[in-house]
A and B are shown apart, each in its own frame.
Chain A
Amino acid sequence: MAAAITATGLKDATAIVGIGQTAFAKQLPESEKTLACQAIISALHDAGIAPSEVDAFSSYTMEETDEVEIAKAIGAGDVTFFSKVGYGGGGSCATLAHLAAAVATGQATVGVAWRSRKRGSGPRPWKNTAVQLPTPAQWTRPFGLLRPADEIGMLARRYMHEYGATRDHLFNVALACRNRANQNPAAMMYERPLTREMYMTARWISEPLCLFDNCLETDGALACVIVSAERARDCRQKPVYLHSVAQGLPSQHHGMVNYWNDDPLSGPAWTAARHLWKQADFGPQDVDVAQIYDAFTPLIPLSLEGYGFCDRGEGAAFTEGGALEIGGRLPLNTGGGGLSEAYVHGFNLITEGVKQLRGTSTAQIPDAATCLVTAGEGVPTSAVLLRS
């Protein structure tokens, strides 16, 4: 009964072998349940695996369609592992991490992770004041700090003050994502170029954040299929291995209103990153392409620092000189990201990472072999390192 799982037990033990997605739009006619089933069946078809073989599911606690509904709709067999991860977009990569752990330890053999959301045509979550929990809402909402944009805007203003970051740095982020979306026919912003003048004259959402600092509102769904590395070699697609996975909840962290600890600008990315790199055979300098969670532009410089691409306070300057564009130091969000492809709680960042390592992205990085994918920064988060 000696421990079979070592500190590196998950390294390259599993792979993503199927990805699927629906159309992305401000409004789709199908229900969230239908969209979820479409994305999952598409991912299984991509993998060449029958739905009856699926025995594990993982999604977000915010996902409205549960495993029971999915399993009986797609025709899954006996399911022996299912999990949900909290904290909105912070859970995206953790769904993969949970499935990797389940498959690597023999709890399941074929795992499906998914997210389906009608955020484009559905209600805005912050408008539902009835479901707000008393903590920390009692400390923020009476003062009109209502929306994620207000909460992150507060951290962004402080970050700009401490490190000399400017709106031009945030524009660099918005522009890189928009430029990639302009190459991606599936992106909501495919035919909508962005200029600096458009950015600088856009309406405010919560100063210092303007319209283009905020992600899209999207209807859509995505899914991916995970199996063991051994089985992956027999699948239809080139395997994309889960090299390292991590979740991150830092000491004394408070969620998106992280104002109440010693260092509010060091968020969960730092915690996830320490664990991610500790298990990996390579470091930030070896990442060919990154998919970094971009619900708001300031999350990019904060994440670049947290994941070790630059030092503390240098994330904004890192974006200069086209660093985030194709051919730059770190091309990122190559499908357009949450800012310009679709905002489906970061799941499109996962599928885009897979496309890059398969060599099938609409903005392909030549010979990309390693990709970092991150989940929402500013909330308890997660991340994965993919390799081909």
Chain B
Amino acid sequence: MSSISSMHSTMKATTDNRLLLPLPDDDGAPFWEYAARGELRVQACAAPDCGEPRFPPRPCCPRCQSFASEWRAMSGKGRVWSYVIPHPPLLPAYAEQAPYNAIVVELADAPRIRLVGNLVAGPGAPLNSVPADRLRIGARVQVVFSDVGGIAVPHWTLDR
């Protein structure tokens, strides 16, 4: 994790075709470094008698105030908690794919941890690769990692 602080100044804000890239802060950087290895991990308290997971990442545990934390591996399974179908006006790179979906996924391993993402046909598929009528709240999904401008970003596929 030693490269975290140097990531900030050198990171691009968008891909070449101007999709937005994640701009990690100090607390969030490990999430993206694990994602680059194909691992979905969530920050959790490392105090022995606590262990509470938390998202978004932050310096200390709101339950016990410990500053000790770990990055806990998740199975990558979850359910769609909600979704929207954005239409223009949008930033140009997103307008080109609209209407597409944006979803919130509730993780099976930690139901109160929810991640914003996209439901796609497979790794690297466009944001509009799943027809809107396939989306429903409660649908089981599985994480995949897409290469977006050289950054590994968690996306989701329908779990059959």
Which A residues fall within an 8 A CB radius of B? 124, 127, 129-130, 132, 134-147, 149-150, 153-155, 157-158, 161, 203-209, 252, 254, 257, 259-262
Contact = CB atoms under 8 A, between A and B. Distances in A.
B90 interface: yes
Given A154-B82, A157-B82, A204-B85, A142 B21 contact: yes
Nearest to B58: A135
B59 to A, nearest CB: 12
B84 A207 contact: yes
A260 B107 CA distance: 11
5 contacts: A129-B20, A143-B118, A154-B83, A252-B62, A259-B104
Given A153-B84, A154-B102, 4 more contacts: A144-B90, A153-B86, A205-B86, A260-B112
B137 interface: yes
A144 B127 contact: yes
Contact of B86 (A142, A150, A252, A257): A150
Interface of B: 13-14, 19-25, 27-28, 32, 55-56, 62, 81-87, 89-91, 94, 97, 99-100, 102, 104, 112-118, 127, 132, 137, 148, 153
A260 to B, nearest CB: 5
A19 B118 CA distance: 47
Contact of B82 (A136, A158, A203): A158
A127 B62 contact: no
Given A207-B85, A261-B112, A143 B28 contact: no
A245 B121 CA distance: 50
Q: Give the dominant DSSP class at B's interface.
A: loop
Contacts of B97: 144
B64 to A, nearest CB: 14
| Interface-centre pick from A135, A138, A158, A207 (highest chain B CB count, 10 A) | A138
Given A139-B28, A139-B56, A154 B84 contact: yes
Contacts, number: 117
A146 B90 contact: yes
Contacts of B102: 143-145, 150, 154
| Interface-centre pick from B87, B112, B117 (highest chain A CB count, 10 A) | B87
A204 B112 CA distance: 30
Contacts of B104: 154, 158, 259
Nearest to B97: A144
B28 A204 contact: no
A144 B81 contact: no
A305 to B, nearest CB: 18
B23 A204 contact: no
Contact of B55 (A208, A209, A260, A262): A260
Contact of A134 (B23, B83, B100): B23
A257 B87 CA distance: 19
A265 to B, nearest CB: 10
A142 B153 contact: yes
A350 to B, nearest CB: 29
A124 to B, nearest CB: 7
B61 to A, nearest CB: 12
A142 B82 contact: no
A273 to B, nearest CB: 23
B23 A208 contact: no
B118 A144 contact: yes
A144 B137 contact: no
B81 A150 contact: no
Nearest to B82: A158
B99 A137 contact: no
Contacts of A135: 25, 27-28, 56
A158 B137 contact: yes
